[in-house]
Amino acid sequence: MRRRLLTALWLVPALLLGSAVPAAAENDPLPDRLDRAVAAKLAEHDTTDVFVVLKEKADLSGGRSLRGHAAKAEHGFRMLRSTAERSQRGLRSFLQDSKAIFTPYWLVNAVLVRGADAGLVKRLAERPDVARVRPAGSVSLPEPERTAEAVAQVAGAEWGVDSVGAPRVWSGFGARGEGIVVATIDSGVQYDHPALAGQYRGRKADGSYDHNYNWFDPTLVCGVPSVTPCDNNGHGTHTMGTIVGAGGIGVAPGATWISAKGCETSRCSDVFLLEAGQWMLAPTDLEGNNPRPDLAPHLVSNSWGGDAGDPFYQEIVNSWVASGIFPLFAAGNAGPECATAHSPGDYANTYAVGAYQSDGKIADFSSRGDPEGTAIKPNITAPGVAIRSSVPGSGYSAYSGTSMATPHVAGAVALLWSAAPALRGDIAATRRALDETAVDVTDYSCGGDSANNRVWGQGRLDAFAAVTFAPRGQTGTLAGTVRDATGAPVPKPTVTLTASGVKRTLTGGADGTFSIPLPPGSYEITAWAFGFAPATGTATVAAGATATRDLSLATVPRYDVYGEVRQSGGEPLPGAVVSIEGTPYAPVTTESDGAFAMLGVPVGTWRVNVQGARCGAATTVTLVVDSDELLQIDTPLRKDAFNNKCDVIPTLAWQPGTTPLALTGDDAGVAVTLPFTFPLYGKPYTKAWISTNGFINFQRLSTLSLNSAIPSGGLPNSAIYAFWDDLVVDSSAQVLTATLGTAPNRRYLVEWRNVTLVSQPAARLTFSAELHENGQILIQYKSLSSGLMPRGSSATIGIENSTGTLGFEYSSNVPVLRSGMGIRFYGAGVVQGVVRDPAGTPLKGIEVGYAMPGDSALMEQAVTDATGAYRLFPLPGEYTVSIASSDWEYYSSKVTLGEEGQVVDLDITLYPSSNDISGVVRDSSGRPLPGVSVAVMDRNIAAATTDGTGAYRLTGVHGGTQWIQVFARACEVIVQKRLTVTGDLVVDLTQGMPVDDSGFACTRKPRAWVEGTEVIDVNASTSAMVPLPFSFPLSGDTFTSVGVTGLGMLLFYDALTGEWSWAAPYTDNLAYDEQSSVRTATVNGAFVVEWRGVLLKGTGLRLTFEAVLHPDGRMMFQYGDLPDDPRIRNGEGVVAVSNAYGPDVLLIRGTLDPETAFEVRPAPQA
């Protein structure tokens, strides 16, 4: 009935005008709105998560005429959010009534509904305001191919950066991306990576960080709450490095960056991608509040994708484009077949990127062609093979994929918009500049022509040509030569030129000369070179003319710097890479004692960077050179994304194995049962496989002898790598185990005794791995033969999770081990205990969880085993451990873990749950409300009805989390409140008065019935225009006539705009007979319309109601005869008021009462 009713409601205005209204829009067949994938999921499961996409779209066209990035983003944000809030009102109310769990979004005007069953999905798909019901799924973050060796740098830049012409832009135009904010939606970013820290928008002038508005992690992988950027995959740090990275890895190293983590690991859930895309248009603080569209990025680079033809992200891209944000997407790695571009890269308004290799040939994997054949995809190609860039751990690696190609184009757009500010936000003109200047490559294999085909798109990216092509307005030239005090040229000086709204930085030639085109104006010039003091000057540039300004630099003294890098516990950090920012010095690597030296460092203040290695994290310290310097650098503890850390133990606490295993030979393994449950990366294990090749694996037998860097998607995974290499357990060697200590502090030891290396049989190694019951791991090296291989030059040492997406690599193919040392890995602590009933009987299957204090979102849950035992593994901090079970009283207890690895014992007794909730329901003025229904969202608990004093009582309520709801009477809002039931509760509830966006407010009043006297010719299929005795104000207009319909509505027509406002005291599928009539009257200055004795079609039920209009804009809805039948009093009849823009509706919902009237008041006029 509701669907028919709303259809009729929107048909009435056309009925008055006598025009025909097509029915198809309101009667779309269900399959057109319901995605088949939803039906497929419901065929397998009782419930599924769905996105409900609404029909109404925000009008963003007004942003085209706005100038300025912030203005465009602000307009888009305002229009999108207001449209969503208005048009979702009815859907949200429906979902509340359905007791659904849902999250609304404004960027795509959609609502995510969790755990929807088939009945709810069907009702959603039938709603006339819904465009589509689609599944909540995920897409992939392509696994890049890791390349053993990168292509050599060209003149200090990676081959890809050089290939697209970025260095020529830097030197020819002085533009390096200054003034442009770039963003990625990816797996995260190591924000303090030496190549990225200086460009991060969250880095403040004093070197500290503020992540508000600069980092967003809806996945909560990086923490709960997620307040610090991380990258648990490596993909995101790599792509960001190619866009803005320092040291020659980035195309636009002068740009600044922000990022959102839309991908949990290599999987990117739709909901997180949506939330990340929404954040891009209006970044928020770390709590997700206070959106700031003025801080939106200029472009968003996306190196992820899903199935071709998936429209999921289309509205997001549309909103970005309308708001002046350039959308870049990888075309995909599904080549060499044709028609393989994936979504969103295959959308017409995304800029999709294919990949080519260093010899200029297309990459074999690069996707080719839009599967629909409607657009040329990719749009352009860029370097994507053997691309060296930044990776977590402050390192560098070479990857291949269109994921690597896309950030080259992102960097090129940053250069283009930095050099040509007129293009900023002009997506079409920017695409034209990139397209027109791309280097054409002929390839007809997938269709197209030499200028634009489905292999290369427009061709190979040429950033220099694009900047040259771009409109930069009038320019002049500033030239000069930088010399030393003797007059000799200073090779390759850095020259910075600053004027109002312009900043350019370029590197001079080997002969000290510089020349750059600039907009006319007065410029401050600063020249600097390594070993010289800065010099400044000024120059004025005129259009079409060349200004010349030479500068002279004075040399400064140089001194030697010696230093030592130490890790936790004061242990030397060998193999750490140390560099000085802004110098030509090549990075140096610390010796086995952590020492390093840099000779001839000029006087000045320098930033010294240490890349993370072993147990030490990356760090930066300030060095003031005014004489020979001794520098000691203590690195903070390095952490992985699971908060695991490590310590180097300088002296052994050696324990030998006691029980030999039947494990000998080369590439062999054996399974063992652990004496306790051992946690690794949050997963509990009771079984392990021990390999001759120096590692313990917890998932399956693996005897892989060829080690690799970790984490890695390849086997073994879920492992402890004590010394992963190709080892042999010969007749002189053994593998032994031992169980040490008592519960709950037991240790399980595996010792590889006197084993040898396949490639160095004379070498002998004795080492062990101890698994502690609290999750700590101790690896010890009792004796290692001399030489590089026994010290680890071909071995991997570390730990890794079950999927190969997280790992802590201590070393890989680096000789950093020594006899007598140990490495301790630790992170989470342990909360453990036994859950029992009051009689002491262990309870199996009870879910025990923990959360941050004051937060109901559980961070981890464990289920008790047959002995009632549970184990949780929280990081250090304060938590609330809780149990919420329908059969037992709610339990909670605070626990504190002060340090990593701490064990907290917490036994729990549960009591049967049966609680009372009682209280009083009042209206907004404090008056008790009798006769309203109060219930909890548990169908096994009977609802209560308030008595004459407004009091209610619910009995037998289970402990734990409960939602209590007051079911609204007409003219009162629905009240829902979340409760934590730990015993009997007293909960008083207040029902407020609804107000819509236009300011209409509804109040319940005593009925004051007024009879209609003049019968007008109206029935169920006709209407009449009736003159009003006064000018009636509504929605900012005034009306002298009103349309009266037989369906219980009053219509107000605005001839200027052609829009309708309406009021409905009761509209439904009504019918008329000889006893039915519609009457009007003017009484005491008010105008009355009475519907008398009308029928609710198909029921035989007859009702009488009226609307009374007052000159001040008030309306009274009153009911003279309402049968005591739920189809009338709390059925699906609509009582509402709508303004002239249709979707702004004050909907009066709930049970109708013949003794009560509703007064609808307009907003006060200014």
Enumerate the active-site residues: 186, 235, 403
Other Cβ atoms within 10 Å of 479 Cβ, number: 14
The residue type of 341 is: A
Whole-number CA gyration radius for the chain: 36
Nearest to 976 by CA among 1009, 937, 1010: 937
> Which two tokens mark 857?
């979102």
The alpha carbon torsion through 144, 145, 148, 152 (nearest 10 deg) reads -70
DSSP 295: G
- Give Cα 179 distance to the centre of its chain: 25
Other Cβ atoms within 10 Å of 1103 Cβ, number: 25
List Cα–Cα distances, 229 to 253, 574, 699, in angstroms: 20, 27, 30
| CB-based contacts of 794, cutoff 8 Å, min separation 6 | 707, 725, 726, 759, 813
Residue 344: cis peptide before it, omega within 30 degrees of 0: yes
**Is the distance from CB of 150 to CB of 158 less than 8 angstroms?**
yes
What pairing do the DSSP bridges indicate for beta strands 683-691 and 669-680? Answer: antiparallel
**Is the distance from CB of 82 to CB of 59 less than 8 angstroms?**
no
The alpha carbon torsion through 623, 624, 626, 628 (nearest 10 deg) reads -20
**Is the distance from CB of 835 to CB of 657 less than 8 angstroms?**
no
DSSP 618: P
Q: How many angstroms separate the CA atoms of 699 and 717, rounded?
A: 8
**Is the distance from CB of 1101 to CB of 1066 less than 8 angstroms?**
no
Q: How many angstroms separate the CA atoms of 23 and 779, rounded?
A: 74
Nearest to 1039 by CA among 1109, 1107, 981, 988: 1109
> Which two tokens mark 772?
């502690």
DSSP H/E element including 680: strand 669-680
Q: How many angstroms separate the CA atoms of 1157 and 1154, rounded?
A: 8
3-class DSSP state for residue 584? coil
Q: How many angstroms separate the CA atoms of 431 and 466, rounded?
A: 10
Estimate the crossing angle of helix 270-281 against helix 314-322, to 10 degrees. 10
DSSP 1065: E
DSSP 786: S
Maximum CA pair distance of the chain? 115
> Which two tokens mark 981?
């039931």
> Which two tokens mark 331?
């075309």
DSSP H/E element including 690: strand 683-691
* DSSP string for 907-957: -EE--B--EEEEEEEEETTS-B-TT-EEEES-TTS--EE--TTSEEEEEEE
Q: How many angstroms separate the CA atoms of 405 and 362, rounded?
A: 11
Q: How many angstroms separate the CA atoms of 788 and 794, rounded?
A: 8
> Which two tokens mark 1091?
């519907």
Tell me the residue length of the chain. Answer: 1166
Q: How many angstroms separate the CA atoms of 688 and 678, rounded?
A: 10
**Is the distance from CB of 321 to CB of 296 less than 8 angstroms?**
no
